[in-house]
């Protein structure tokens, strides 16, 4: 996006004919209100003390003052813009809803916010929302209350409320389904995904998509009435009839159940109920939306998902900044992980070279990158081309000498990695950083023989790289602080979430995850069907079962990590079942080979119907993870329980609505969890013995 000064060059000379506030108490802190020579009022939002505009209570109250002045001075039209470079307007200030316990207070507050937005919608003059960067949540609801919406090229739109256990709450459920095809609008809200400007234009969410330099012309056209306005077709209105809503709602519930089971996630079903009952009546749907939103806000699911939102922000903040920015990355190893790491770095704007001992893996990595870019470029051929240009096949490793960061993604063999470092380190720039993507090998074991061990850091990505946001940044006692800072900043620079960890076998995620996978294999050895075991985990809320996950990761990787952790930590785990070792020896390693614990077809496991699991089964799978998370905290692999919870949520998908393993234990009750572990220890052995770290949580 080509942006001008934050308050936009074409606003700088506007006269203040709307005048000063009549009373000092009416002064605006976050908004600027001006009127141009054509008599058009411009309300520009620049929330003070914040990097992004959010709809806090104060911002909405000031907007009500703006509407007062519009009523008093009757400009020709009202245009709403943002002064933030990054985007238009995000949703409500979620921090204001944390820990709320009074439904009546929530309803009162939402009713007051509705009244402000309804006033905007009721204005008889043209109202135009000009959006850039992003318009999401409450910001998009403000835009929907305007008569016309203009998007600057590259703008993204979304209603992400379902991701925090809610649905739109400022009239968006009603206005959106009365603006576009209601079934498409519902699908948009139910997934919580963002769409790009062309998709928004096609569905009628915006009336025009223009480059920044044409915004003024588009506004002039909207004010003059010559900008075409997207409207519902007769077919769209028919889809909002009661019979059509009843039929569509049944299908929506069935589809939602596949992605967000109603036993755990209430918001999608509340939204479907809202539309099915009130969809044909805009005012009734808005009223019902307020009550539904207030009820959802008080659920444990919503409060825990709001917690997850802040955990994400906490990890983002850990990225920080550095005086040593990374511009050129070289990745050694073009396998599934290394190739995908390189592809992601190039996509995020970094010059990235990729080497391997053979040329064939590099070719495969480039093909995967092209396929990924096709998917995420959303038709932007220039963006796709530029990313491919930045991804440089480098079979001779010439990029090592120019790289600011060299990432090793070789197989999990310490001797192999050390041999590789001996060849690579002399070719690196003196101030370059050497990073290992090891998933579990202790860094002191890897730094042996290095001339500059203080420049070796762990940067551990998770598979699939393009979808999992977490990256562990592993420190060791010889690591230079500026190298760790640069590594965290690099992770943030490529749009990932850094989870700092001190060196220890398995670090955070694999250390906690391994007992979960191991117990699933023990249960299989006891004769339980893999489908039943996996169902116990998904019934708890995990995105997939442990055995499907083992196939995804690769059975040989799971075996290596489990063996290493058992050896390093002295875990009282039985040896891996012989049948599993035989599978790996036969080449049946999981999804990547088409066969592992499951047979895989078209990227999905073929499963028989799962029997209902025994109630104890979930505890046998989940509590070893929770117990190990407490051990990781006690040992100060991370001394922050929130970072541990966030790592498990963003690195493994640990049931987000439960808030993370340690948070889950606290909500369930520490004494109850410890008692359950002791009962499992009596029945199944020492691997369930409660960690001594529980004492600190009591």
Name the residues annotated as catalytic.
141, 161
- Give the angle subtended at the CA of 309 by the CAs of 307 and 314, to the nearest 5°: 90
User: What is the Cα gyration radius of the chain?
Assistant: 27
User: From CA 129, how far away is CA 45, in angstroms rounded?
Assistant: 12
Which of 376, 422, 393 shows the shortest CA–CA distance to 331?
Answer: 393
β-bridge partners, 499: 472
Burial 351-371, CB ≥16 within 10 A → b, else e: bbbbbbeeeebbeebbebbee
Give the residue from 646, 650, 622 showing the smallest Cα distance to 538: 622
| Beta-strand runs (E) in 227-373 | 328-332, 351-355
Report the sign of the C-alpha dihedral through residues 456, 460, 466, 467, in that order: negative
Helix (H) or strand (E) segment spanning residue 681: helix 670-684
CA-nearest of 324, 558, 560, 365 to 457 is 324
The helix or strand, by DSSP H or E, that contains position 221, with its residue range, turns out to be helix 215-224
Please give the angle made by the CA atoms of 540, 667 and 684, to the nearest 5 degrees.
55
Q: Alpha carbon of 546 to those of 195, 306, 337, 552, 656: distances in Å? A: 32, 26, 20, 10, 16
Alpha helices in 16-128 (DSSP H): 57-73, 103-122
Tally of CB atoms within 10 A around 426: 9
137: left (phi over 0), alpha (psi -120 to 50) or beta: left
Helix (H) / strand (E) element for 43: namely strand 40-45
Both structure tokens of 507: 């670090």
Q: Which two tokens stand for residue 455?
A: 């420049």
Query: What's the token pair of residue 249?
Result: 């709602």
d(CA 135, CA 142): 9
- A 10 A CB-CB count for 452 gives 17
Residue 272 near residue 256 (C-beta atoms within 8 A): yes
Is residue 643 within 8 A of residue 676, CB to CB? The reply is no
**Which segments within 327-421 are labelled E, that is strand?**
328-332, 351-355, 391-393, 405-408
Tell me whether strands 31-35 and 40-45 are parallel, antiparallel or unpaired.
antiparallel
Q: How far from 315 is each of 381, 506, 642, CA to CA, in Å?
A: 32, 20, 9
What end-to-end distance do the CA atoms of the chain give, in Å?
52
- E strand or H helix at 35, and its extent? strand 31-35
Q: How many CB atoms lie within 10 A of CB 316?
A: 16
Q: Which residue has the tokens 């139910």?
A: 190
CB 558 within 8 A of CB 517: yes
Q: Where are the beta strands (DSSP E) in 334-411?
A: 351-355, 391-393, 405-408
């Amino acid at each position: 996006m080509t942006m001008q000064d934050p308050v936009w060059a074409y606003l700088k000379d506007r006269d203040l004919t709307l005048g000063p506030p009549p009373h000092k108490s009416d002064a605006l802190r976050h908004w600027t209100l001006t009127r141009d020579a054509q008599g058009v009022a411009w309300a520009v939002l620049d929330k003070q003390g914040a990097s992004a505009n959010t709809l806090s209570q104060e911002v909405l109250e000031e907007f009500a003052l703006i509407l007062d002045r519009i009523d008093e001075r009757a400009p020709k039209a009202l245009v709403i813009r943002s002064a933030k470079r990054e985007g238009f307007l995000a949703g409500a200030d979620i921090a204001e809803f944390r820990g709320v316990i009074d439904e009546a207070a929530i309803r009162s507050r939402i009713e007051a916010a509705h009244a402000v937005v309804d006033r905007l919608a009721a204005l008889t003059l043209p109202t135009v929302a000009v959006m850039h960067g992003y318009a999401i949540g409450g910001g998009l609801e403000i835009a929907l209350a305007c008569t016309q919406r203009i998007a600057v090229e590259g703008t993204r739109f979304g209603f992400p409320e379902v991701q925090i256990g809610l649905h739109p709450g400022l009239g968006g459920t009603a206005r959106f389904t009365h603006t576009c095809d209601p079934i498409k609008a519902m699908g948009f809200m139910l997934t919580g995904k963002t769409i790009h400007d062309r998709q928004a234009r096609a569905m009628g969410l915006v009336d025009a998509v223009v480059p920044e330099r044409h915004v003024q012309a588009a506004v002039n056209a909207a004010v003059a009435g010559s900008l075409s306005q997207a409207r519902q077709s007769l077919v769209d209105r028919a889809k909002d009839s009661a019979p059509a809503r009843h039929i569509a709602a049944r299908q929506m519930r069935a589809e939602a159940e596949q992605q967000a089971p109603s036993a755990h996630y209430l918001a999608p079903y509340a939204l479907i109920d809202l539309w099915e009952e009130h969809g044909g009546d805009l005012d009734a749907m808005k009223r019902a939306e307020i009550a539904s939103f207030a009820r959802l806000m008080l659920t444990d699911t919503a409060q825990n998902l709001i917690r997850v939102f802040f955990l994400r922000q906490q990890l983002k903040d850990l990225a920080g900044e550095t005086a040593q920015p990374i511009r050129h990355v070289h990745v050694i190893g073009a396998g599934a992980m290394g190739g995908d790491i390189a592809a992601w770095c190039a996509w995020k704007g970094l010059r990235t070279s990729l080497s391997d001992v053979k040329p064939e893996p590099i070719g495969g990595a480039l093909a995967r990158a092209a396929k990924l870019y096709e998917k995420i470029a959303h038709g932007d051929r220039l963006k796709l081309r530029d990313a491919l240009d930045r991804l440089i096949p480098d079979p001779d490793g010439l990029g090592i000498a120019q790289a600011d960061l060299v990432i090793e993604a070789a197989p999990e063999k310490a001797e192999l990695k050390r041999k590789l470092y001996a060849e690579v380190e002399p070719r690196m720039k003196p101030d370059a950083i050497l990073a290992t993507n090891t998933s579990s090998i202790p860094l002191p074991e890897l730094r042996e023989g290095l001339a500059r061990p203080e420049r070796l850091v762990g940067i551990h990505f998770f598979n699939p790289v393009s979808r999992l946001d977490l990256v562990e940044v592993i420190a060791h006692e010889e690591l230079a602080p500026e190298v760790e800072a640069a590594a965290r900043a690099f992770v943030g620079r490529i749009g990932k979430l850094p989870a700092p960890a001190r060196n220890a076998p398995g670090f955070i995620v694999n250390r906690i995850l391994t007992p979960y996978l191991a117990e699933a294999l023990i249960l299989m050895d006891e004769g339980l069907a893999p489908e039943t075991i996996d169902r116990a985990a998904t019934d708890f809320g995990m995105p997939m079962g442990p055995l499907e996950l083992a196939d995804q990761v690769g059975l040989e990787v799971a075996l290596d990590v489990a063996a290493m952790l058992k050896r390093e930590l002295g875990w009282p785990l039985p040896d891996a079942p012989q049948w599993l070792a035989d599978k790996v020896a036969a080449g049946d390693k999981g999804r990547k080979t088409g066969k592992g614990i499951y047979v895989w077809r078209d990227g999905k496991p073929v499963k028989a119907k799962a029997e209902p699991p025994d109630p104890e089964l979930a505890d046998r799978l989940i509590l070893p993870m929770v117990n190990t998370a407490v051990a990781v905290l006690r040992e100060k692999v991370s001394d922050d329980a929130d970072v541990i919870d966030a790592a498990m949520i963003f690195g493994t998908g640990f049931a987000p609505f439960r808030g993370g393993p340690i948070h889950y234990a606290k909500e369930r009750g520490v004494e109850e969890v410890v008692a359950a572990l002791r009962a499992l220890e009596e029945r199944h052995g020492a691997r369930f013995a409660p960690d001594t770290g529980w004492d600190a949580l009591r």
